[in-house]
Amino acid sequence: MPIFRLSEALIFPPAHLAREDGLLGVGGDLSSQRLILAYENGIFPWFSHGEPLLWWSPDPRMVLYPRSINISKSLGKCIRKNQFTITMDQCFNAVITACARSRTEQGEDTWLVDGMIPAYTGLHKKGVAHSVEAWQDNKLVGGLYGVSLGRTFFGESMFSLVSNSSKVALAALCHHLTALKFDLIDCQVATTHLASMGAVDIPRSLFIQKLTHSLHKEPVKGPWSFNGFF
């Protein structure tokens, strides 16, 4: 399959035209309108320093159904002991910055390059992007962020400075989304960590079908708040 070069027009080629590795297009911009359109079509930006803006739609697609999250015995114990205080949408910029820093400090590439943080911060200001924060001793020690459209949450990244902090943040998100009757969390590509939490691979065609159905449901814009597990 060819790689499509995007113009200034707000349009994407169909996701099923992506290459075997999931790469669909190059170019465009990171405006709020384009980002939202991309997510609505099962597409997301992912590129590193020195690369052009790349757009992806992998097949298969890893998803996590909020009700099906796997809570291990140790994680359940951590939750019951209230080892972390969980909040939502309290410090979005700090969370996304920590996600970028945690990878670079480990010598890994990050897709949170120049332009990405302000782009997603803009979505947060519109009530579309959300963060989950895990606190310990009044310090931010873990969290995650993503985009919410219809009743689908598109997970983008997470970080953990203390063992289990990001897992508890994800469990809190699933608890919150279950209460709001969300359909699924898009995890984008498979990881062993997410698989251990209950995420599964599904065909891209099925993902697009579920996403289309979900987008017809009323969105839940922010700011969000977390009322506890119990």
| Coil, strand or helix at 108 | coil
> In the CATH hierarchy, which fold is given to the domain comprising 4-58?
Alpha-Beta Plaits (3.30.70)
pLDDT digits (tens, 9 = 90+) for 128-187: 999 999 999 999 999 999 999 999 999 999 999 999 999 999 999 999 999 999 999 999
pTM: 0.95
Q: Note the pLDDT of residue 48.
A: 79
| Domain limits, the chain | 4-58, 62-215
Of 200, 199, 106, 220, the closest CA to residue 153 belongs to 220
In sign, the C-alpha dihedral spanning 96, 101, 102, 107 is positive
Residues in a beta bridge with 54: 26
Q: Which two tokens stand for residue 115?
A: 């332009």
Confidence of residue 47 (pLDDT cuts 50, 70, 90): confident
* CATH tag for 62-215 (out of 3.40.630.70, 3.30.950.10, 3.40.50.1820, 3.30.70.360): 3.40.630.70
